[in-house]
Amino acid sequence: MNNNVRLALIFSLAIVAWFASGLLTSTDPVEVVSQSPSKYTKVLVAYSEQQLFSPTVSLRAKTKANRAVRVLAQVSGKISATLIEEGDAVEKGQGICQIDPEDRHFRLAQARAALENADIAYRGAQKLKSAGYQSELAISQAKAALASARTNVKRAQLDIENLQITAPFDGIVESRPVEVGDFVAPGSHCATVVELNPLKIEALVTESEIGSLSKGDQAVVDVDGKEYRGAQLTYLAIQAHPVTKGYRVEATMENADQSMRAGVSAQMDIDIAGVSGHLVPASTILLNDLGETVVRVVDSSQIVRSFRVNAVGETSQGIWVTGLPDEIVLITVGQNYVIDGERVEAAFPDNNSPR
Protein backbone atom coordinates (compact mmCIF):
# COMPACT_ATOMS: atom_id res chain seq x y z
CA MET A 1 0.00 0.00 0.00
CA ASN A 2 1.45 3.26 -1.05
CA ASN A 3 1.81 6.31 1.18
CA ASN A 4 -1.05 8.30 -0.42
CA VAL A 5 -3.59 5.58 0.20
CA ARG A 6 -2.35 5.19 3.76
CA LEU A 7 -2.75 8.94 4.52
CA ALA A 8 -6.23 9.03 2.99
CA LEU A 9 -7.30 6.09 5.11
CA ILE A 10 -5.98 7.72 8.31
CA PHE A 11 -7.91 11.02 7.61
CA SER A 12 -11.09 9.10 6.88
CA LEU A 13 -10.88 7.20 10.17
CA ALA A 14 -10.24 10.44 12.07
CA ILE A 15 -13.33 12.13 10.59
CA VAL A 16 -15.51 9.10 11.42
CA ALA A 17 -14.21 9.10 14.98
CA TRP A 18 -14.96 12.86 15.39
CA PHE A 19 -18.56 12.49 14.20
CA ALA A 20 -19.03 9.46 16.43
CA SER A 21 -17.83 11.38 19.48
CA GLY A 22 -20.42 14.06 18.86
CA LEU A 23 -23.23 11.54 18.74
CA LEU A 24 -22.14 9.74 21.89
CA THR A 25 -21.51 12.86 24.01
CA SER A 26 -24.64 14.46 25.55
CA THR A 27 -24.63 18.14 26.57
CA ASP A 28 -26.86 19.77 29.14
CA PRO A 29 -29.32 22.30 27.71
CA VAL A 30 -28.39 25.95 28.23
CA GLU A 31 -30.50 27.48 30.95
CA VAL A 32 -32.02 30.79 29.81
CA VAL A 33 -32.97 33.09 32.65
CA SER A 34 -35.53 35.74 31.80
CA GLN A 35 -37.40 38.23 33.94
CA SER A 36 -40.99 38.93 33.06
CA PRO A 37 -41.67 42.73 32.87
CA SER A 38 -44.10 44.38 35.27
CA LYS A 39 -47.61 44.65 33.86
CA TYR A 40 -48.12 48.17 35.40
CA THR A 41 -46.72 51.47 34.09
CA LYS A 42 -44.14 52.96 36.41
CA VAL A 43 -44.56 56.61 37.39
CA LEU A 44 -42.82 58.93 39.80
CA VAL A 45 -45.03 60.68 42.34
CA ALA A 46 -44.72 63.30 45.07
CA TYR A 47 -46.79 63.99 48.14
CA SER A 48 -48.44 67.42 48.31
CA GLU A 49 -50.44 69.08 51.05
CA GLN A 50 -52.71 72.12 50.65
CA GLN A 51 -51.22 75.42 51.86
CA LEU A 52 -52.31 79.05 52.17
CA PHE A 53 -51.17 81.14 49.21
CA SER A 54 -51.33 84.94 49.17
CA PRO A 55 -51.30 85.79 45.46
CA THR A 56 -50.07 89.03 43.98
CA VAL A 57 -51.40 90.50 40.74
CA SER A 58 -48.53 92.20 38.88
CA LEU A 59 -49.58 94.82 36.33
CA ARG A 60 -47.88 97.18 33.93
CA ALA A 61 -49.14 100.63 34.82
CA LYS A 62 -48.69 104.36 34.33
CA THR A 63 -48.79 107.24 36.77
CA LYS A 64 -51.56 109.76 36.24
CA ALA A 65 -52.45 113.15 37.69
CA ASN A 66 -55.28 113.05 40.19
CA ARG A 67 -56.87 116.03 38.42
CA ALA A 68 -56.00 118.12 35.39
CA VAL A 69 -58.19 121.18 34.75
CA ARG A 70 -58.20 123.74 31.97
CA VAL A 71 -58.70 127.08 33.72
CA LEU A 72 -60.86 129.33 31.53
CA ALA A 73 -61.61 133.05 31.45
CA GLN A 74 -65.12 134.04 32.54
CA VAL A 75 -65.05 137.62 31.26
CA SER A 76 -63.59 139.22 28.16
CA GLY A 77 -60.67 141.62 28.11
CA LYS A 78 -56.96 142.08 27.57
CA ILE A 79 -54.44 140.21 29.72
CA SER A 80 -52.70 142.86 31.81
CA ALA A 81 -50.44 140.56 33.87
CA THR A 82 -49.36 136.94 34.18
CA LEU A 83 -48.89 136.01 37.82
CA ILE A 84 -47.52 132.45 37.56
CA GLU A 85 -45.01 130.85 35.23
CA GLU A 86 -45.37 127.40 33.68
CA GLY A 87 -44.16 124.66 36.01
CA ASP A 88 -44.73 126.72 39.18
CA ALA A 89 -46.74 125.41 42.10
CA VAL A 90 -49.97 127.21 42.95
CA GLU A 91 -52.37 127.14 45.85
CA LYS A 92 -56.13 127.11 45.63
CA GLY A 93 -57.40 130.65 44.88
CA GLN A 94 -53.99 131.96 43.82
CA GLY A 95 -54.07 134.20 40.72
CA ILE A 96 -52.65 132.97 37.43
CA CYS A 97 -53.72 135.63 34.91
CA GLN A 98 -55.00 139.19 35.37
CA ILE A 99 -57.47 140.82 32.96
CA ASP A 100 -57.54 144.61 32.49
CA PRO A 101 -60.59 145.98 34.38
CA GLU A 102 -61.17 148.78 31.83
CA ASP A 103 -64.37 150.61 32.92
CA ARG A 104 -65.81 147.83 35.10
CA HIS A 105 -65.29 149.75 38.36
CA PHE A 106 -67.31 152.65 36.92
CA ARG A 107 -70.04 150.21 35.88
CA LEU A 108 -70.16 148.92 39.45
CA ALA A 109 -70.50 152.45 40.82
CA GLN A 110 -73.26 153.16 38.31
CA ALA A 111 -75.09 149.95 39.27
CA ARG A 112 -74.87 150.82 42.95
CA ALA A 113 -76.30 154.30 42.30
CA ALA A 114 -79.15 152.78 40.31
CA LEU A 115 -79.78 150.37 43.19
CA GLU A 116 -79.96 153.22 45.67
CA ASN A 117 -82.40 155.09 43.43
CA ALA A 118 -84.58 151.98 42.99
CA ASP A 119 -84.59 151.40 46.74
CA ILE A 120 -85.74 154.97 47.45
CA ALA A 121 -88.46 154.70 44.81
CA TYR A 122 -89.73 151.43 46.25
CA ARG A 123 -89.83 152.75 49.83
CA GLY A 124 -91.66 155.87 48.61
CA ALA A 125 -94.21 153.72 46.77
CA GLN A 126 -94.76 151.72 49.97
CA LYS A 127 -95.54 154.93 51.90
CA LEU A 128 -97.95 156.13 49.24
CA LYS A 129 -99.67 152.75 49.29
CA SER A 130 -100.25 153.00 53.03
CA ALA A 131 -101.82 156.45 52.52
CA GLY A 132 -104.02 155.10 49.72
CA TYR A 133 -102.35 157.06 46.90
CA GLN A 134 -100.51 154.24 45.08
CA SER A 135 -101.88 151.32 43.08
CA GLU A 136 -100.78 147.69 43.32
CA LEU A 137 -99.34 147.91 39.80
CA ALA A 138 -97.06 150.81 40.70
CA ILE A 139 -95.87 148.95 43.79
CA SER A 140 -95.11 145.86 41.70
CA GLN A 141 -93.17 147.89 39.14
CA ALA A 142 -91.08 149.55 41.85
CA LYS A 143 -90.32 146.19 43.39
CA ALA A 144 -89.22 144.73 40.02
CA ALA A 145 -86.98 147.74 39.38
CA LEU A 146 -85.36 147.25 42.79
CA ALA A 147 -84.67 143.54 42.08
CA SER A 148 -83.18 144.37 38.68
CA ALA A 149 -80.90 146.98 40.23
CA ARG A 150 -79.65 144.46 42.81
CA THR A 151 -78.93 141.97 40.02
CA ASN A 152 -76.94 144.55 38.08
CA VAL A 153 -74.82 145.30 41.14
CA LYS A 154 -74.13 141.61 41.69
CA ARG A 155 -73.21 141.08 38.03
CA ALA A 156 -70.83 144.05 38.10
CA GLN A 157 -69.19 142.71 41.29
CA LEU A 158 -68.72 139.25 39.71
CA ASP A 159 -67.16 140.78 36.61
CA ILE A 160 -64.57 142.50 38.78
CA GLU A 161 -63.94 139.37 40.86
CA ASN A 162 -63.43 137.32 37.69
CA LEU A 163 -60.80 139.69 36.36
CA GLN A 164 -58.24 137.54 38.12
CA ILE A 165 -58.21 133.95 36.88
CA THR A 166 -57.31 131.74 39.87
CA ALA A 167 -56.27 128.14 40.52
CA PRO A 168 -59.20 125.87 41.46
CA PHE A 169 -57.01 123.68 43.74
CA ASP A 170 -53.44 123.20 44.91
CA GLY A 171 -51.30 121.98 42.05
CA ILE A 172 -48.78 122.83 39.35
CA VAL A 173 -49.31 125.07 36.32
CA GLU A 174 -48.63 122.66 33.47
CA SER A 175 -49.21 125.23 30.71
CA ARG A 176 -50.17 128.89 30.35
CA PRO A 177 -50.79 129.73 26.68
CA VAL A 178 -51.58 133.45 27.18
CA GLU A 179 -49.21 136.39 27.56
CA VAL A 180 -49.60 140.03 28.48
CA GLY A 181 -51.53 141.80 25.71
CA ASP A 182 -53.50 138.77 24.57
CA PHE A 183 -57.25 139.22 24.33
CA VAL A 184 -59.45 136.59 25.96
CA ALA A 185 -63.16 136.00 25.75
CA PRO A 186 -65.39 133.99 28.08
CA GLY A 187 -64.26 130.38 27.71
CA SER A 188 -60.72 131.19 26.55
CA HIS A 189 -57.98 128.90 27.88
CA CYS A 190 -55.77 130.66 30.40
CA ALA A 191 -53.85 127.78 32.00
CA THR A 192 -53.84 124.05 32.77
CA VAL A 193 -53.43 123.11 36.41
CA VAL A 194 -52.62 119.51 37.43
CA GLU A 195 -52.89 117.95 40.86
CA LEU A 196 -50.15 115.40 41.65
CA ASN A 197 -50.94 114.76 45.30
CA PRO A 198 -52.43 112.23 45.60
CA LEU A 199 -51.09 110.53 42.49
CA LYS A 200 -53.09 107.98 40.51
CA ILE A 201 -51.70 104.69 39.18
CA GLU A 202 -53.66 103.33 36.21
CA ALA A 203 -53.51 99.82 34.72
CA LEU A 204 -55.56 97.26 32.77
CA VAL A 205 -56.46 93.84 34.16
CA THR A 206 -57.90 90.77 32.48
CA GLU A 207 -61.35 89.32 32.89
CA SER A 208 -60.01 86.60 35.19
CA GLU A 209 -58.14 89.11 37.37
CA ILE A 210 -60.85 91.76 37.85
CA GLY A 211 -62.99 89.38 39.93
CA SER A 212 -60.25 88.90 42.53
CA LEU A 213 -59.75 92.65 43.14
CA SER A 214 -61.68 94.93 45.48
CA LYS A 215 -61.63 98.59 46.38
CA GLY A 216 -59.25 99.15 49.25
CA ASP A 217 -56.77 96.44 48.24
CA GLN A 218 -53.19 97.44 49.02
CA ALA A 219 -50.59 97.76 46.26
CA VAL A 220 -46.86 98.37 45.87
CA VAL A 221 -45.75 100.62 43.00
CA ASP A 222 -42.33 100.23 41.43
CA VAL A 223 -40.95 103.13 39.37
CA ASP A 224 -37.44 102.84 37.95
CA GLY A 225 -36.55 100.21 40.55
CA LYS A 226 -37.78 102.27 43.50
CA GLU A 227 -40.68 100.88 45.51
CA TYR A 228 -43.50 103.05 46.84
CA ARG A 229 -45.81 101.46 49.41
CA GLY A 230 -49.19 102.60 50.64
CA ALA A 231 -51.04 102.70 47.32
CA GLN A 232 -54.69 101.68 47.54
CA LEU A 233 -57.19 100.61 44.88
CA THR A 234 -59.85 103.28 44.48
CA TYR A 235 -61.53 102.42 41.17
CA LEU A 236 -62.52 99.24 39.31
CA ALA A 237 -64.12 99.55 35.87
CA ILE A 238 -67.52 97.98 35.28
CA GLN A 239 -67.14 97.65 31.50
CA ALA A 240 -64.22 96.26 29.54
CA HIS A 241 -62.33 98.43 27.06
CA PRO A 242 -63.90 97.84 23.60
CA VAL A 243 -60.50 97.33 21.92
CA THR A 244 -58.19 95.76 24.52
CA LYS A 245 -61.01 93.95 26.39
CA GLY A 246 -59.20 94.84 29.61
CA TYR A 247 -60.71 96.44 32.71
CA ARG A 248 -59.27 99.74 33.95
CA VAL A 249 -58.23 99.91 37.58
CA GLU A 250 -56.83 102.87 39.51
CA ALA A 251 -54.92 103.18 42.75
CA THR A 252 -53.96 106.36 44.60
CA MET A 253 -50.83 107.04 46.59
CA GLU A 254 -49.35 109.95 48.50
CA ASN A 255 -47.01 112.26 46.59
CA ALA A 256 -46.62 115.08 49.08
CA ASP A 257 -43.43 116.46 47.57
CA GLN A 258 -44.86 116.03 44.05
CA SER A 259 -41.60 114.40 42.96
CA MET A 260 -43.47 111.70 41.03
CA ARG A 261 -44.52 112.83 37.56
CA ALA A 262 -47.63 111.85 35.65
CA GLY A 263 -47.33 109.54 32.65
CA VAL A 264 -44.36 107.51 33.94
CA SER A 265 -44.28 103.74 33.32
CA ALA A 266 -44.54 101.67 36.48
CA GLN A 267 -45.29 98.23 37.83
CA MET A 268 -48.11 97.76 40.31
CA ASP A 269 -48.26 94.68 42.52
CA ILE A 270 -51.63 94.22 44.18
CA ASP A 271 -51.98 91.94 47.20
CA ILE A 272 -55.27 90.06 47.11
CA ALA A 273 -56.97 87.77 49.62
CA GLY A 274 -55.18 84.50 50.35
CA VAL A 275 -56.45 81.19 48.94
CA SER A 276 -55.74 77.56 49.80
CA GLY A 277 -53.97 75.66 47.05
CA HIS A 278 -51.16 73.33 46.01
CA LEU A 279 -47.77 74.33 44.60
CA VAL A 280 -47.15 71.93 41.68
CA PRO A 281 -44.42 71.80 39.00
CA ALA A 282 -45.49 73.45 35.76
CA SER A 283 -44.73 70.22 33.87
CA THR A 284 -47.49 68.38 35.75
CA ILE A 285 -50.27 70.55 34.33
CA LEU A 286 -51.96 68.98 31.29
CA LEU A 287 -54.86 69.69 28.96
CA ASN A 288 -57.71 67.18 28.76
CA ASP A 289 -59.88 66.47 25.73
CA LEU A 290 -62.09 69.45 26.60
CA GLY A 291 -59.15 71.86 26.73
CA GLU A 292 -59.32 72.12 30.54
CA THR A 293 -56.19 72.27 32.70
CA VAL A 294 -55.82 69.15 34.84
CA VAL A 295 -53.26 67.32 36.97
CA ARG A 296 -53.05 63.55 37.47
CA VAL A 297 -52.81 61.92 40.88
CA VAL A 298 -52.88 58.37 42.22
CA ASP A 299 -55.21 57.26 44.98
CA SER A 300 -54.57 54.77 47.75
CA SER A 301 -55.23 51.90 45.32
CA GLN A 302 -52.62 53.18 42.83
CA ILE A 303 -55.39 54.19 40.41
CA VAL A 304 -54.88 57.28 38.25
CA ARG A 305 -57.34 60.14 38.63
CA SER A 306 -57.47 63.57 37.00
CA PHE A 307 -58.58 66.79 38.72
CA ARG A 308 -59.46 70.00 36.96
CA VAL A 309 -57.44 72.90 38.41
CA ASN A 310 -57.29 76.68 38.21
CA ALA A 311 -53.96 78.47 38.27
CA VAL A 312 -53.97 81.31 40.83
CA GLY A 313 -50.28 82.24 40.94
CA GLU A 314 -46.82 81.47 39.66
CA THR A 315 -43.43 81.35 41.36
CA SER A 316 -39.97 80.11 40.45
CA GLN A 317 -40.79 76.83 42.25
CA GLY A 318 -43.94 76.10 40.27
CA ILE A 319 -47.58 77.06 39.83
CA TRP A 320 -50.18 77.48 42.57
CA VAL A 321 -53.46 75.75 41.69
CA THR A 322 -56.85 75.25 43.31
CA GLY A 323 -59.42 72.49 42.83
CA LEU A 324 -57.53 69.63 44.49
CA PRO A 325 -58.21 67.73 47.75
CA ASP A 326 -56.30 68.73 50.88
CA GLU A 327 -53.73 65.94 50.41
CA ILE A 328 -52.71 64.32 47.12
CA VAL A 329 -50.09 62.03 45.61
CA LEU A 330 -49.18 63.91 42.44
CA ILE A 331 -47.74 62.16 39.37
CA THR A 332 -44.61 64.14 38.49
CA VAL A 333 -43.05 61.86 35.83
CA GLY A 334 -45.02 59.71 33.42
CA GLN A 335 -48.30 61.60 33.63
CA ASN A 336 -48.45 61.81 29.84
CA TYR A 337 -48.42 58.01 29.45
CA VAL A 338 -51.27 57.03 31.74
CA ILE A 339 -55.02 57.54 31.67
CA ASP A 340 -57.78 57.85 34.24
CA GLY A 341 -58.72 54.53 35.87
CA GLU A 342 -55.39 52.89 35.04
CA ARG A 343 -53.49 51.08 37.80
CA VAL A 344 -49.84 52.15 37.99
CA GLU A 345 -46.70 51.36 39.91
CA ALA A 346 -45.89 54.55 41.83
CA ALA A 347 -42.50 55.39 43.26
CA PHE A 348 -41.58 58.20 45.67
CA PRO A 349 -38.14 59.67 44.95
CA ASP A 350 -36.13 61.50 47.59
CA ASN A 351 -38.19 59.99 50.41
CA ASN A 352 -41.15 62.17 49.43
CA SER A 353 -43.80 59.79 50.70
CA PRO A 354 -47.18 60.40 52.33
CA ARG A 355 -47.02 61.19 55.98
Domain boundaries along the sequence of the chain: 43-53+275-351, 57-65+197-271, 101-162
Q: Which fold has domain 43-53+275-351?
A: 2.40.420
Among residues of the chain, what percentage have pLDDT more than 70? 87
- pLDDT at residue 29 tops 50: no
In SS3 terms, the chain reads as CCHHHHHHHHHHHHHHHHHHHHHHCCCCCCCCCCCCCCCCEEEEEEEEECEEECCEEEEEEEEEEEEEEEEECCCCEEEEEECCCCCCEECCCCEEEEECCCCHHHHHHHHHHHHHHHHHHHHHHHHHHHCCCCCHHHHHHHHHHHHHHHHHHHHHHHHHHCCEEECCCCEEEEECCCCCCCEECCCCEEEEEEEEEEEEEEEEECHHHHCCCCCCCEEEEEECCEEEEEEEEEEECCCCCCCCCCEEEEEEECCCCCCCCCCCEEEEEEECCCEEEEEECHHHCEECCCCCEEEEEECCCCEEEEEECEEEEEECCEEEEECCCCEEEEEEECHHHCCCCCEEEEECHHHCCCC
Fold match, 43-53+275-351 / 57-65+197-271: no
- pLDDT at residue 351 tops 80: no
pTM summary value? 0.61
Q: Which fold has domain 57-65+197-271?
A: Elongation Factor Tu (Ef-tu); domain 3 (2.40.30)
The per-residue pLDDT for 266 is: 94
> What is the rounded CA–CA span in Å between residue 284 and residue 43?
12
User: Over the chain, what is the mean pLDDT?
Assistant: 86
Distances (CA, A) of 209 to 116, 150, 174, 244, 288: 68, 60, 35, 14, 24
The per-residue pLDDT for 19 is: 61
| Least confident stretch, 56-70, 132-146, 192-206 | 132-146
Please identify, in words, the CATH class of the domain defined by 101-162.
mainly alpha
Q: What is the pLDDT of residues 31-60, one digit of tens each?
A: 434 444 568 889 999 999 999 888 788 899
The per-residue pLDDT for 130 is: 72
Whether the Cβ atoms of residue 277 and residue 283 lie closer than 8 Å to each other = no
